Amino acid sequence: MRGARRGPSHLTSRQKEEIISTSCGINHDRCQVDRLSLTGAGTLTRSGIGLPTYRHSIHTGETPQAEIWTVFHLTDLIEIPSHLWADEYSKRRIAVLEAKAQRMRAEREAIQAKAKESA
């Protein structure tokens, strides 16, 4: 979608702040699923339990997915349009991501426990 969307200057204030989609991906440092909201103005916002709120404007010509990977280092990205957030299919996709993150956490804890035992 590089260059596909027009700049935010043609949008009303309300449209600029409106969340148009949410992207979810796995944060490998914390082995958890992070959620990022994309506004009409091209701003990504990360917030959540135990996370400081962080806003990041997308660079001109970059896709939201490229910025999410570059800035937040999230993998296994899924994008969900706002009008489909409560959809059962979207919920299942998020559940799959959360299950994968949980497996990653368990594997990391097992490796750490084994390292403690051998120390």
Summarised one tens digit per residue, pLDDT across range 57-73 is 998 788 999 999 999 99
Residue 3 lies in a domain: no
Whether pTM > 0.75 for this model: the answer is yes
pLDDT digits (tens, 9 = 90+) for 86-107: 899 999 999 999 999 999 999 9
Q: Which residue range forms the structural domain that includes residue 14?
A: 8-118
Distance CA 1, CA 44 (A): 16
Q: 2 lies in a domain?
A: no
Q: Report if residue 76 sits inside a domain.
A: yes
Kindly state whether residue 107 falls inside one of the protein's structural domains. Answer: yes
Q: State how far the alpha carbon of 90 is from the alpha carbons of 11, 28, 45, 58, in Å.
A: 28, 22, 19, 24
Q: Is residue 48 part of a domain?
A: yes
- Domain contains 45: yes
Tell me how many domains the chain contains. 1
